[in-house]
Amino acid sequence: MRSLVFLLLTLGALPVIAAETLTIDRLFEDPALSGPSPRLLKLSPDGKRVTFLRGKSDNQTVFDLWEYHVPSKQTRLLVDSASLTGGAEEQLSDAEKARRERMRIAGTSGIVEYQWSADGKQLLFPIAGSLYVYRVDARKDPVKALTQAADGFATDPRFSPKGRYVSFVRDATLYAIEIDSGSETRISPAGSGTVSYGMAEFVAQEEMGRFSGYWWAPDDSAIAYARVDEAPVAVEKRFEIHADRTDVIEQRYPAAGKANADVRLYVRKLASEEAVEIALGDNRDIYLARVNWLPDGKALLLQRQSRDQRTLDLMRAEVASGDSAVIHTEASDTWVNLHDNLKVLDDGQSFVWSSELGGYQHLELRAIDGSLIRPLSSGPWVVEDVLAVDQKLRRVYFSGNADDPREKHVYFNSLDTTAPGSPTRVTLYNGWHEAVFSDDGKVFVDTFSNENTPPQVRLHEAGGKELAVLEANKVEDGHPYHPYLESHLAPEFGSLKAEDGQTLYYRMIKPLGFVEGKRYPVLIRVYGGPHVQYVQRSWDSRWGLFDQVMAQRGYIVFTLDNRGSARRGVKFESPIFRRMGGPEVADQMVGVRWLAEQPFVDAAHIGYFGWSYGGYMTLMMLAKHSGPIAAGVAVAPVTDWRLYDTHYTERYMDDPGRFKAAYDASSLFPHLPGLKSPLYLIHGMADDNVLFTHSTQLMAQLQQSGTPFDLMTYPGGKHGINQSPAVRKHVFNAIANWLDRQLRVKGK
């Protein structure tokens, strides 16, 4: 009841609102429909300021730096990005373009990342390759330039832990600037050719969630950095076709079964010019997954993943000698998922760790030698992220889904717990919570939403008590979504059973003006791949609003999370091992058959739409089940897993040299003769993730077999095809209009 009352207060008084339906164009126009939602929220070290990025009111893709001052309860603009760029279009280096694509922030500009200094007196941020600091207490000219892009494009900047230095990578080389003196020091050898220093390699950025290649010692005395040599990686020559030119790109792309980059790890003390190489083992064909320092700065904790990803070794490495030893190993018959939940306690004698050995990711407390002290959580649910450790109160705060697999909440347990299966929930309202804690674990900023409530931001004590509302974001008069509120359609949630008896959750939106006894066409929006969950009780400003548009056009919009999807544990994820395109398709067909039995569904007009892995799923659904599937839109699809990268593909499909039959079965091409229903194929012509080759091979096969299909390609389009709002409008209008024609909906 509390959640219902809360929602009604949030949405406002419905009867007085003039009904207006959404359009594709409005999704990509300013101001943003979801309201002034802050992003990249951070707490200052003293907890008195909450900083965040906010898009400009007239251009939601250009971000400025803001703060909420807790004592005064005032929100103010700190840095207007246009004041530093003059409003000119930013020129990014190729490395930075690729990094932003990997971080899924391509298409944004202005201040897209920033960091607090340890003393809370400065904020560091880059703009277009130049580095700046904002001095909190400066009464005049608070913004100071540290480097200029004209001297070389600086990327991945960071304050050192004690705040004496700012480090960054320029021209594949790691540097540090002493802030007080302005003295610049080259930390690594100079990068050149295929060798870079301090940078994460392609698969680390794209698949491992590691976007950096260097790590400061806690006392500022040294930096550990990666040396990456891409010489072993095969060169993939591809064309990037733009509107006014064609670039021939020689990209070193590590395709499944082929060689990876050679990655080594060094530590250099700033007082010395010599670097010590850290021993990673005799087998060089491994992944350097994570690097952490111990509090005393004398040793590192490394995570080394085997090439087949079925083993993850936690290693201790001595900085002085470079010697290392394995202190703990996670192993699996399928794969071991990576995580960022290693937190070493201040005494250096124990650490928090995540493990899936019990079937669900849960927390453990381990001694510094790797031995288990006690489990910190347990049960048929998933811990996602360690958010904070309050070492005085002996509490660990974490996010997870103990209450509902479709929700996300903040919980805590004692580091001394004897009841790991009974965490204390901190967050109040049912739905989705993204939390950012202060360094001491005393307060946190919570971004809350659910399927009918745009994101709202509040400051809380660690125990849950509300301290301040930073962004109420009420959908009332003046809010961008207010004109469309009466037409908003609340999703319905339900569940079905997979062939092995596991629960499959779905989300369904019935059309605007739904009439009992009438049958409606269905659009099934799919992803279906690992590490993604679509069926959530959250506000989705991209896909969720597109779903609203399509439902308001007359569709039933349906989404089902098949086996292999995230946040459900090992048993739910692992059926796709060496079987991609098998269990996922079977589960999607459970949803299709259920829909066809419903009295409100026009079973002859069920269509699919998916992007990336969702594009692959759309193609597999059409190839295997063109009978019940009337049409499908596949955007940037994988068509043959042999063409995709090592770390992602081999995790789920193993070695293509040893398991040829598995790769054949998971490829689209053996199933292609079954593709009879209409297909709309879309791909960006500069995609460096799912290479355009996936689609060109498909085009050739369809043409050879005489199979008709529709095609749209986007000059200059990367994987997200997000060059501009105009292009985004074109993509989604083209998709919606094509579906209208195929599924017999009168478009609006």
Give the β-pairing of 631-635 and 679-684. Answer: parallel
For residues 36 and 469, what is the distance between their CA atoms, to the nearest angstrom?
Answer: 13
- Is 578 strand, coil or helix? coil
- Token digits of residue 242: 């733009």
For residues 282 and 266, what is the distance between their CA atoms, to the nearest angstrom?
Answer: 16
Q: Show the 3-state SS of 532-559.
A: CCCCCCCCCCCHHHHHHHHHHCCCEEEE
- Token digits of residue 457: 């931001």
Among 482, 403, 434, smallest CA distance to 10 is for: 482
Cβ of 636: how many Cβ atoms within 10 Å?
28
Non-local (6+) Cβ contacts of 598 within 8 A are none
Q: Find out whether 456 and 14 touch, Cβ atoms under 8 Å.
A: no
Report how far apart the first and last C-alpha atoms of the chain are (Å, whole number): 37
Angle at 437 (CA atoms; ends 432, 438), nearest 5 degrees: 160
From residue 510, alpha-carbon distances to 7, 546, 665, 701 in Å are 20, 14, 35, 37
Cis amide linkage into residue 31, ω under 30° from 0: yes
Non-local (6+) Cβ contacts of 273 within 8 A are none
- Token digits of residue 453: 């409530």
H or E, element range at 433: strand 432-437
- Token digits of residue 28: 């990509």
* Rg, the chain, Cα only: 26
For residues 502 and 483, what is the distance between their CA atoms, to the nearest angstrom?
Answer: 41
For residues 208 and 203, what is the distance between their CA atoms, to the nearest angstrom?
Answer: 7
Residues comprising the chain, all counted: 748
Strand partners, 64: 54
Cβ of 655: how many Cβ atoms within 10 Å?
16
Active-site positions? 612, 687, 719
- Burial (0-12, 13-18, 19+ Cβ within 10 Å), 550: buried
H or E, element range at 693: helix 693-705
For residues 633 and 735, what is the distance between their CA atoms, to the nearest angstrom?
Answer: 7
Residue 102 amino acid letter: R
Looking at residue 279, what DSSP letter applies? Answer: P
Angle at 126 (CA atoms; ends 34, 95), nearest 5 degrees: 95
Among 580, 573, 480, 477, smallest CA distance to 532 is for: 573
Give the β-pairing of 453-461 and 443-450. Answer: antiparallel
- Token digits of residue 390: 């309050």
H or E, element range at 207: helix 202-207
Q: Find out whether 611 and 603 touch, Cβ atoms under 8 Å.
A: no
- Token digits of residue 741: 């024609």
